[in-house]
Amino acid sequence: MTVRLRIAPSPTGSLHVGNARSAVFNWLYARRHGGQFIVRVDDTDTARSDERHVSEMIDGLRWLGLDWDEGIEVGGPHGTYRQSDRFDRYREAAEQLWRGGDAYYCFCTPEELDVRRAEAQKAGRPPGYDGLCRAIDTEQARARVADDERASLRLAVPRPGVTEFRDLVRDDMRFDHENIDDFVLLRSSGAPTYHLASTVDDVDYDITHVARGEDLLSSTPKHILITEALGASSPTYAHLPLLFGPDGKKLSKRHGDTSLKAFISAGYLPEAMFNYMSLLGWSYDPEITIYSADEAIARFDLDDVSKNPAVFDVDKLQWMNGEYIRAMPVSEFIERSRPALEEGLGSPLEPAEFDKYRQLAPLIQERIKMWPETAEMVRWLYVDEVEYDQQSWSKVMEKEPSAAVLSDALGRLEKVDPWTTETIEAAMRAMLEELDIGARKGFQPLRVAVTGSSISPPLFESMEVLGKQASLGRIGAASARLAAG
C-alpha cells in the first residue's frame, strides 16, 4: 500500500514556518516511502482566505525544494484541491451523517450559546456545547429545518465512550468523550467547519498518514469520530512538536515576522532553510548536522520525531546558511549573490563593475552568512569618494604613525608596476621594514583610506581590484584630510 500524505494550509495568512516545517516532514515521509505528497488548500473560511496567500504558499513550498504529486496547481484526480470548491460534497457528507443518526440539528443561536457558555464557566462546568438540541425529536427537527429555521448540524458524540488511537509520535492516545462536546459540522450558513471538511477530504483523497502540529492533537478524536461515522477507516496520525519562539511560547506573530516569506526575503538559502527545519524535532545522525534533502529522505521516519517542542534558533539557522554559502562553487556564489548585491548597492552593475566583484568574490564568500551582507562588504568599491567610518577613522588614523605611513606608502605605490596583489604587497612589506613598524600599524591606515573602514576584505586584493589610480587617489585624500586636521 502506498502512503499518501498531505498538507492543508489555510490561506488566511502568510505561510508560517511551522506549517512549512510540517510540509517538510510530510514530504520527507512520502518520498522516503515512495508515496504521494499532496497539497490541498483548506479555505473553508472564505471570508478570511486570500488568493495572494495561496500563490505565496505555492512559491514558498517550491522555493524550499518541495514538489507534490497532486494538489493545488498541479491537479490530480480530486479536482481543484480547494475546499471552497467542495462545499456540496461536505453537505452531502453531513447529510449522510445525519441520516445515519450520527448528527443532529441544533437551533441554539450564537447568542444563546454565549450566555450558556458563560454560565457554565462560572459554575465550573465544561464550556463546550451542552447538547440541549440533541433531545429534539428528529422528525420535528427536520420539519423546522424544512421550514427554513436556522440551524447548525452537530455531531452526536457517542456517550459514554472513548476514542483511542496510536500516534506515530505520541504513542497511545486515549480521549474520554466526556471531554468532547457535540461540535459543529455544518454552520447555520450551510458552510462546513474545518473538522468536517478536513476529515471528508482526508477520507476522499485516501490519505494514509496525517502529520500535523500538536495543536491539533485534541481535535483528533473528533476527526476519528467523523471518519468512523462516515464508514471509513482513519489515517495514521503523527502529531509534530510545536515550534516555539525564544520565550518558549508557540511561535507566532508576536515573535516578529515568522512567515516563510520573511525568511526568503531576509536572504536565506532554501537548502539551509530546509536543512535547519528538518532538524527541528528530528535528527539525521547524532554526529552530522549538514546534509542534503536526498540524504534526509534516505533516513527520515515519523517514528523518530521527537515529542518535545523546539525553539526556533535564528543563530543556528544563520550559521548553517553561512555553511551553505561557503560550500558552493565560487561561480555559483557569484551568480546567486548578484541580486542581493545589486539591490543593496541600489542599482545594477555594469559588466566591468561586476567584474571587480567577481574578482573579490572568493574573499567575500567566506565572510558572509547572508546575501545582504555582500553589498556592505564591497560598497567602497563602487563609490566615488569613500565614506569613512567614524570609529575606524579615530581609532586608526588619529594615531601615530598614520600620517607618515600614508605619505610614504603613496610614494612607493606610485612606482608599483604592474599593479597586482603581489607587487603591492611586496612594496608595502618593504615599507614596513624600512619604517620599522608592524603590519598592524602600517596596513590599517591604508585599509581605512581605501575602504573607509578598519574592517574590510583583504587589503592588497582590494587595492588591486580598485585599481592603481583610485587607490592612490584615496590614500592621497585621506592623507590630505589628516593634514587638514
Output 350 or 470, the one with its CB closest to RNA: 470
Figure out which of the listed residues 87, 136, 454, 468 binds RNA, where binding follows CB under 7 A: 454
Q: Which of 278, 133, 282, 157 is nearest to 219 (CA)?
A: 157
> Quick check: 80 binds RNA (CB under 7 A)?
no
> Least distance from C-beta 13 to RNA, angstroms?
10
Helix (H, G, I), strand (E, B) or coil at 172: strand
> Least distance from C-beta 104 to RNA, angstroms?
13
81-110 residues near RNA, rule: CB under 7 A: 106, 108-110
User: Which member of 249, 253, 307, 399 is catalytic?
Assistant: 253
Amino acid at 280: L
Q: Which of 262, 269, 258 is nearest to 322 (CA)?
A: 269
Figure out which of the listed residues 80, 84, 96, 188 binds RNA, where binding follows CB under 7 A: 188
CB neighbourhood size of 372 (10 A): 16
* CA–CA distance, 13 with 172 (Å, rounded to integer): 33
> Least distance from C-beta 190 to RNA, angstroms?
9
275-304 residues near RNA, rule: CB under 7 A: 279-283, 286-287, 289, 304
Residue 70's DSSP bridge partners are: 38
Figure out which of the listed residues 35, 458, 473, 476 binds RNA, where binding follows CB under 7 A: 458
228-267 residues near RNA, rule: CB under 7 A: 241-242, 244, 248-250
Q: H/E element holding 106?
A: strand 103-106
Output 81 or 347, the one with its CB closest to RNA: 81
> Least distance from C-beta 414 to RNA, angstroms?
20
DSSP 105: E
Cell numbers standing for residue 311:
525553539
DSSP 79: T
Interaction mask 114-153, RNA, x per CB under 7 A? ---x------x-xxxx--------------------xxx-
In the residue annotation, 253 being an active-site residue is answered as: yes
Output 209 or 447, the one with its CB closest to RNA: 447
148-187 residues near RNA, rule: CB under 7 A: 150-152, 170-171, 173-176, 179, 181, 183-184, 187
* CA–CA distance, 60 with 43 (Å, rounded to integer): 18
CB neighbourhood size of 339 (10 A): 13
* CA–CA distance, 245 with 253 (Å, rounded to integer): 10
**∠ CA(435), CA(456), CA(354), 5° rounding?**
120
> Least distance from C-beta 192 to RNA, angstroms?
7
Figure out which of the listed residues 194, 291, 354, 382 binds RNA, where binding follows CB under 7 A: 194
361-400 residues near RNA, rule: CB under 7 A: 366-368
> Least distance from C-beta 2 to RNA, angstroms?
25
Give the alpha-carbon dihedral of 439, 440, 441, 443, to 10 degrees: 70
DSSP 143: H
Helix axes 402-414, 439-451, angle to 10 degrees: 70
Strands 162-167, 171-176: pairing is: antiparallel
Whether the bond between 9 and the residue before it is cis, its omega within 30 degrees of 0, is no
Output 30 or 153, the one with its CB closest to RNA: 153
204-233 residues near RNA, rule: CB under 7 A: 214-219
Output 344 or 457, the one with its CB closest to RNA: 457
CA distances from 132 to 56, 137, 257, 422 (A): 43, 12, 43, 89
> Least distance from C-beta 231 to RNA, angstroms?
23
Output 348 or 467, the one with its CB closest to RNA: 467
308-347 residues near RNA, rule: CB under 7 A: 308-311, 313, 315-316, 319, 322-323, 326
Output 80 or 289, the one with its CB closest to RNA: 289
How many residues bind to RNA according to rule CB under 7 A? 88
Output 219 or 407, the one with its CB closest to RNA: 219
> Least distance from C-beta 144 to RNA, angstroms?
13
16-75 residues near RNA, rule: CB under 7 A: 42, 44-45, 48
* Helix spans in 64-109 (H): 87-99
DSSP 209: E
**Pair 444, 454: CB distance under 8 Å:** yes
Amino acid at 6: R
Positions annotated as catalytic residues are: 253
